[in-house]
Amino acid sequence: MRCQQAWDVLDTVLDPEVPALSVRELGLVRDVVERGDTLDIVLTPTYSGCPATEVIERSVIDAIDAAGIGPARVTLQRAPAWTTDWISETGKRKLLEYGIAPPGPVAAEHAVTIRIVGRRADAAIACPRCGSHHTERLSAFGSTACKSLHRCLDCREPFEHFKAI
């Protein structure tokens, strides 16, 4: 019962970099395990160097404690690596509403383990404001490493795209 309560509480913990999504909707929460009197919250950061990891850990523990279902601890699980496929459909909808173009699925034929040289043409990303596919990438990186910066050539608005990884 405490585990289900914890999952419900984690629906309310917002990601500090994209506060339109909860850590659950972003796919960061891998498991909740009851170990004796302690809840172990298993998180997978979006990437190993994510600067928000410590803030997310603290927010998760604080939310569990505030709900009165603690004590809790966070375990970071970096393998398997987080993928944008773990973002829930609700999360993708919320990204779009927030003004960030959500990622599509990572197609196996486009998966790249390591790319040392070369570039592939990006498919046109739909503008989250007007829906146009007449867009261009301005930068491979946006406000964080997991997003890229784009511009719509029709409505002229800049927007970020959550990269599919």
* Residue 108 pLDDT: 64
Give the list of residues 6+ apart from residue 130 with CB closer than 8 angstroms, or none.
152, 154, 155, 157
On the 0-12 / 13-18 / 19+ scale of CB atoms within 10 A, 95 is buried
Q: Which residue has the tokens 């970071």?
A: 76
Residue 115 has pLDDT above 50, yes or no: no
CA distance 35 to 8: 18
Residue 109: how many other CB atoms lie within 10 Å = 4
Residue 87 has pLDDT above 60, yes or no: yes
Q: Say which amino acid occupies 20.
A: A
The answer to whether 159 touches 100, Cβ cutoff 8 Å, is yes
CA distance 79 to 60: 20
Mind listing the pLDDT tens digit for each residue in 29-68? 999 999 999 999 999 999 877 889 999 999 999 999 999 9
**In the structure, what pLDDT confidence band is assigned to residue 144 with cuts at 50, 70 and 90?**
confident
Residue 90 has pLDDT above 50, yes or no: yes
Mind listing the pLDDT tens digit for each residue in 91-105? 999 999 999 999 887
CA distance 46 to 165: 9
* Residue 111 pLDDT: 58
Residue 124 has pLDDT above 90, yes or no: no
Q: Which residue has the tokens 């569990």?
A: 64
Question: What is the arithmetic mean of pLDDT over 68-87?
Answer: 92
CA distance 72 to 6: 10
Residue 139 has pLDDT above 90, yes or no: no
**In the structure, what pLDDT confidence band is assigned to residue 119 with cuts at 50, 70 and 90?**
very low
Domains and CATH numbers, the chain: 2-76 (3.30.300.130), 87-162 (no CATH)
Residue 122 has pLDDT above 80, yes or no: no
The answer to whether 45 touches 82, Cβ cutoff 8 Å, is yes
**In the structure, what pLDDT confidence band is assigned to residue 123 with cuts at 50, 70 and 90?**
confident
